[in-house]
Structure 1
Amino acid sequence: MSTPSVSAFVEGLSSVPSAPGRNNFFDTAVPANAQRRRNLEIYLQEMLDRSPKVLLLGEAPGFRGMRITGVPFTNRTMFEGPANGFGLFGQGKGYSLPPDSAGVPSEPTATVMWEVLGELQFLPLLWSACPFHTHLAGRPRSNRTPTMAEASLGNAFWQALTELFHIETVVAVGNVAHRSLLRSGVVAPKVRHPSHGGRAGFKRGLEELLLGGAAQ
């Protein structure tokens, strides 16, 4: 059962309207989104039990990842397979895929993210600067870098998560998140985004932060 704080967070997230080129896949007006809201609640509730002190803030959900699952940096393969090395996701954890996930291939960035976190044995909370799917006009199965205005729509949500989880360190994953944090007055370390061949740089950046004590 989700705590009232988690439920209130997801409810607030679902109330933001979609717009041309920006899909809020938690919107209560779409029946299939109920499964995504439930998936997010399961993730946040379990992460509350894990008490992470670091928030990795990415850019925006991809149409093959969080747009489908409702959980940051995950894909359908993670939900259909066994739980990962941290005991998260996988069959039997309560997650489910909505009907519109059929035929959508798994997002590779999510796989890279969790491979690296597993190698480092580092479990932060994951979120996105813009928690809504931004896509090209008329092409819902595409990804588009969110504008600063779109990223600003997510400020209240990552800030709420830092309070709910008592986060001590926020780390920007990529330039969009870093600019969004700076515009909010938060000076945060930045690591390379793991997409588009960024695996090595992403891992190296996290290793440096962990060694320096900036991320624990």
Structure 2
Amino acid sequence: MPTVTIDAFIERLATSPAGPNSVNQFAFSNPNNAIRRRNLGLYLHQLAERRPTVLLVGEAPGYRGMRITGVPFTNTAILQQGIGHFGLLGAANGYEVPNELPLVAAEPTATVMWRTLVELDFLPVLWSAYPLHPHRAGNPLSNRTPSPAEAAEWSWSWLALQDLFSIRTVVAVGNVAHRSIVRSGLTVPRVRHPAHGGREKFARGLHELLAEGIIA
């Protein structure tokens, strides 16, 4: 049986402090984060009903994606419209978009991620090596690569999800996630991150893992 519950997981996220040049989009200090915590809870509960066995660990939330929505690899359009193929997300399922942040263009990586998952008919748990939003100093509407120390400090989060969902296989999405997971002592497969023109290699990598039976 899992040693952590969804509610306890979100509580720990919300009460864990963010370091310099990072935003904890779940923290209790911002009233609007209640919507993000609720969105994340809905997402995790929806996944629990579907019993996924694979965890994809990416890099970190972007300011146009999970920083706004609270759900990994989503943007406002995906959160509101949902992923009909899986019956996941969407306003009809109770998801809401907080409105206190400036309107920005949708995060393209989220679109690539979900388009690929639908094409492969493959629904894993999605998460990040560093699940807070790292930004450049003085510019919260920017993204930066999390440091090895930041990823190491938050490795507890993907390890907790691994336990919570009885995950059989963890897959690193990109080099940042792979280095973080390897430092935790695991040997895991790695696929190309879908950002910055990586869609085809990302999709090909997942397809190969599925074809070889490494993930299912």
TM-score under structure 2 normalisation?
0.96
Matches within 5 A, 1:8-87: 8-87=8-87
Q: Please, which runs of 5 or more residues in structure 2 have no aligned partner?
A: none
Quote the residue 1:109 is aligned against: 109
CA distance in structure 2 between the partners assigned to 1:200 and 1:160 by the alignment: 30
Q: CA-atom RMSD, angstroms?
A: 1.1
CA distance in structure 2 between the partners assigned to 1:105 and 1:30 by the alignment: 23
Q: Please, which runs of 5 or more residues in structure 1 have no aligned partner?
A: none
CA distance in structure 1 between the partners assigned to 2:71 and 2:51 by the alignment: 17
2:178 aligned partner, one-letter code: H
Matched, 1:89 2:89: yes
CA distance in structure 2 between the partners assigned to 1:78 and 1:97 by the alignment: 10
Matched, 1:182 2:179: no
CA distance in structure 2 between the partners assigned to 1:180 and 1:158 by the alignment: 11
Matched, 1:144 2:144: yes
**What SS does the aligned partner of 2:93 have?**
coil
Residue 77 of structure 1 deviates from its aligned partner by 0.4
Quote the residue 2:119 is aligned against: 119
Paired positions, count: 213
Q: Is the Cα–Cα contact under 8 Å of residues 83 and 91 in structure 1 kept in the other structure?
A: no
Deviations 1:173-206 (A, max 9, x none): 0000000011000100000000000000000000
CA distance in structure 2 between the partners assigned to 1:74 and 1:140 by the alignment: 18
Residue 102 of structure 1 deviates from its aligned partner by 4.6
Residue 100 of structure 1 deviates from its aligned partner by 2.1
Residue 82 of structure 1 deviates from its aligned partner by 4.7
Percent of residue pairs bearing the same amino acid type: 55
Residue 83 of structure 1 deviates from its aligned partner by 3.9
CA distance in structure 2 between the partners assigned to 1:88 and 1:100 by the alignment: 24
CA distance in structure 2 between the partners assigned to 1:196 and 1:82 by the alignment: 24
